[in-house]
């Protein structure tokens, strides 16, 4: 299992909303001290993809993994265009015009849902996602409920060791 350690974020908010007049703000991680990192485990298949990307493209001078054609930041409009094209390529034609994976953030939600469905302890899911348990329950309760059969099997397996 690999790991990445995000140190901060650079959300695009629009130049009118920042003190510096830039279209983005450099921020720390949500609900964390300014210089704190958050270790995030990443599966081997993603590690391989990232290494291949780095071998081919390297990083931007400031360390960013992805950059626009001329080396600058990938703006949300450009990212959205690429996302929509990827949806057209990846989804069956009948699902392209549905809300399925409509925005890039849906991939985060899908990943967290996958971890829960795979049986990862909810405390660990919350930690990896950067959520509190309360937030995890609020937004993912429908996935966390209804697992009685699985829970019974886990308990039975533990008792039969």
Q: pLDDT of the chain along its 161 residues, tens only? A: 888 888 888 777 777 777 788 877 778 777 777 778 888 888 899 999 999 999 999 998 888 888 887 878 888 888 889 899 999 999 999 999 998 889 888 888 889 999 888 888 889 999 888 888 999 988 888 776 767 788 888 889 999 87
Domain map (residue ranges) of the chain? 99-161
Helix axis angle, 105-117 to 122-129, nearest 10°: 160
Dist. CA 30–CA 82, nearest whole Å: 27
**Whole-structure pTM value:** 0.67
Q: For residue 158, count other CB atoms closer than 10 A to its CB.
A: 8
3-state secondary structure of 161: coil
3-state secondary structure of 41: strand
Dist. CA 161–CA 157, nearest whole Å: 7
Contact 57, 23 (CB under 8 A): no
């Amino acid at each position: 299992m690999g790991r990445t350690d995000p140190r901060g974020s650079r959300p695009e908010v629009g130049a009118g909303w920042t003190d510096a007049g830039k279209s983005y703000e450099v921020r720390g991680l949500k609900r964390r001290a300014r210089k704190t990192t958050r270790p995030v485990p990443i599966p081997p298949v993603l590690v391989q993809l990232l290494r291949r990307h780095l071998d081919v493209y390297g990083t931007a001078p400031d360390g960013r993994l992805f950059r626009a054609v001329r080396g600058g930041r990938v703006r949300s409009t450009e990212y959205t265009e690429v996302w929509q094209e990827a949806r057209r390529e990846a989804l069956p034609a009948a699902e392209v015009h549905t809300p399925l994976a409509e925005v890039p953030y849906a991939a985060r939600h899908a990943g967290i849902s996958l971890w829960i469905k795979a049986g990862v302890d909810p405390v660990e899911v919350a930690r990896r996602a950067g959520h509190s348990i309360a937030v995890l329950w609020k937004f993912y309760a429908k996935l966390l409920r209804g697992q009685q059969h699985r829970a019974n099997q886990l308990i039975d397996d533990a008792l039969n060791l």
